[in-house]
Structure formats: C-alpha cells, structure tokens
Structure 1
C-alpha cells in the first residue's frame, strides 16, 4: 500500500476514491493470478492528479504527390495511490 502508479485517465477529481480490479496478488510467498480467485479482491486507490503523457508526433507522407500530414497526440493520464487491498 502506498504505491503510486499512472493509468489511463479516470473520471474524478484529485482526492476522490476509486476502486480498481486486482490483476495479480502477491501475499508473501503466495502469488495468485487466477481470475476466479481474484474476483473477490478489491483495490482501493486515491486519485492524486491528472496529467498528460509524452508528445507523440505522427507524420504521414506520400511520395511524388505532395501529400503530407502532421498530427500529434498526448495521452491523458491519472496518477493513483493505493490505499487499501481487501480480500473478499
């Protein structure tokens, strides 16, 4: 708990609580990745803030026709801190 990670943009403001699905559970020496076993596990996190990822530049070009197109993209991201992991 207390781990901070970045995910694709989530709805909510900074300070809001979100519930996330568990993908992998490591409890000491026991590692669980089975979807049925993880169905009862919930991860509660808190939104720390929103931001954008690095700029990605796309340039399409076709030879001899004069066609070129520039486009950019920045993925919207959300920083989340894990507050609680509950086994059900």
Structure 2
C-alpha cells in the first residue's frame, strides 16, 4: 500500500517503512507526526481524493532535524566589477513512515 501526501508545498509518494526528507516541521526527534493531506491511497484498490481522501491519514515519526548541503548562489555582472557570493543551507526534517490509514 502506498499514499501520496502533501506537505511543505510538495507532494511525496510514501509507503510504510520509507524515510523521507520534508520541509522543516518544528517537531522534536522521536515525536509522532500525522499527515492528513492525503491526495491518493493506492494498493489493491485506488482511492483518489478531490482534493483529499476523506478519513485518510499517514502516521510518521521524526528521525532527525538537520540542514541540507550548502547551495552556492553567485551573482555577477560583467564590466561593472559586481560579484556577490552567498551560501544557503535549507533546513529539513527526516521522517519515517509508520502507518497508512485509509
């Protein structure tokens, strides 16, 4: 069984036991998190939501809160001497999917 959930402005296809990285949730390590925006539940019979499936949820546990690898943002304009270099590290939460409730 699998599900498609929406969190942090993105959609993820998950099944039980998967570990995924989502936008920072603000939960501590070991806490339980419930995703209630389930767009689709698949398996032997597929349930498609309009826009979400009624009564469906995905239970997960927070594994880690961390930062992703650094992304370098470099701006340059020729002939003017303009150079600007910035770095950005996006924060994320890694969760492990425990149960899919259809």
TM-score > 0.5 by shorter chain = yes
Match of 1:53 among 60, 63, 68: 68
Query: Segments of 4+ in structure 1 off by > 2 A?
Result: 30-37
* TM-score, normalisation: structure 1: 0.84
Cα distance in 2 between the residues matched to 1:56 and 1:6:
17
> What is the RMSD of the two structures over their aligned residues, measured on CA atoms?
1.6
Cα distance in 1 between the residues matched to 2:21 and 2:38:
15
Q: Secondary structure at the match of 1:39?
A: coil
Please show how residues 3-82 of structure 1 align to structure 2 within 5 Å.
3-20=18-35, 21-28=37-44, 30-36=45-51, 38-82=53-97
Tell me how many residue pairs correspond in the alignment.
Answer: 86
Q: Secondary structure at the match of 1:14?
A: coil
Distance 1:36 1:60, change over 3 A: closer
**Structure 2 unaligned blocks of 5 or more:** 1-15
Select the structure with the greater relative contact order (CA < 8 A; seq sep ≥ 6): 1
The Cα shift of 1:37 comes to 5.7
Which of 1 and 2 has greater Rg? 1
